[in-house]
Amino acid sequence: MRLVLLGGPGAGKGTQARLIAARLGIPHVATGELLRAAGRADTGIGRQLRGYLDKGALVPDETVVELTRERLKEPDAGRGFVLDGFPRTLAQAEQLDLMLEQQEVQLDYSVVVQVPEDELVKRLSGRRTCRQCGAMYHVGFRPPRVAGVCDVCGGELYLRSDDTEQTVRRRLELYREQATPLLDYYRRQGVLLAVDGLGSAEIVEQRIALALAGNHQSRPDRDRRARMA
């Protein structure tokens, strides 16, 4: 299964992508994580990337597309993947389709996790991320067992430089601008599934699983039926 997860920053894309990927036995590909790893390098490119990441600004399409292309070429992505954080622009969505076309495969679904903006601000400013494995917590809603320490790997939890309130507002603004054309793009292709993102991670995961199960036809079958209708 080849999936894209969409949703505002803090909508739970990362958590859901991780859960779906584990359930389906396919890799979770998070461009934010790939970029943060590349940005840690003490090189010119590393410094340039940190400039974008710290401000919450979008990294140029060519850079992200190239990074994603390389990741999706790895053997583990052959059976499918869950993309998280990509595409964020229409140009990236078109490039993704081209990439998949070259591999003679297609995206199955684009799942949008819907959460109101006020809730997103609350969630992000309390979010803590593990430096080592990327697992996410919330100081109020989902605290770790030991404050500041990751339950999964024991790594240090930190407040991402782009999770401060000012940057969160900027990221939400950006998402608002970028999401509409992306959602339209996938709606036109007939692959968009909208899921309510309020509630616990487990409940949202169930909603996504139900939505995917209720639309279990393969993409070629759906395309054929759409042509015949």
* Catalytic positions, written as ranges: 13, 88, 127, 160, 171
Binding mask 145-164 for ligand AMP (x = CB under 6 A): -----------------x--
Q: Which stretch binds ligand AMP (CB under 6 A): 21-29, 87-95, 145-153, 183-191?
A: 87-95
Q: How far apart are CA 3 and CA 111, in angstroms?
A: 7
| Residue 227, H or E segment | helix 219-228
Question: Which two three-digit tokens encode residue 44?
Answer: 């010119």
The answer to whether 4 contacts ligand AMP (rule: CB under 6 A) is no
- Shortest distance, CB of residue 54 to ligand AMP, whole angstroms? 9
Residue 55 or residue 222: which is nearer to ligand AMP going by CB?
55
Label residue 210 exposed, middle or buried (CB < 10 Å: 0-12, 13-18, 19+): exposed
Residue 31 or residue 189: which is nearer to ligand AMP going by CB?
31
The answer to whether 90 contacts ligand AMP (rule: CB under 6 A) is no
Q: What are phi and psi of 215, to 5 degrees?
A: -125, 50
Q: How far apart are CA 155 and CA 19, in angstroms?
A: 20
Q: How far apart are CA 94 and CA 118, in angstroms?
A: 31
Task: Candidates 28, 71, 128, 171: give the one binding ligand AMP (CB under 6 A).
Answer: 171
Amino acid in position 147: A
- Residues in contact with ligand AMP, total (CB under 6 A)? 18
Peptide bond into 87 cis (omega under 30): yes
- Shortest distance, CB of residue 143 to ligand AMP, whole angstroms? 21
The answer to whether 123 contacts ligand AMP (rule: CB under 6 A) is no
Binding mask 22-51 for ligand AMP (x = CB under 6 A): ---------xx--x----------------
Task: Candidates 5, 19, 38, 53: give the one binding ligand AMP (CB under 6 A).
Answer: 53
The Cα angle at residue 29 between residues 28 and 30, in degrees rounded to 5: 110
E strands, the chain, are: 2-6, 28-30, 81-84, 109-114, 127-130, 136-138, 157-158, 192-196
The answer to whether 56 contacts ligand AMP (rule: CB under 6 A) is yes
Binding residues for ligand AMP, per CB under 6 A? 9, 31-32, 35, 52-53, 56-59, 64, 85-88, 92, 162, 171
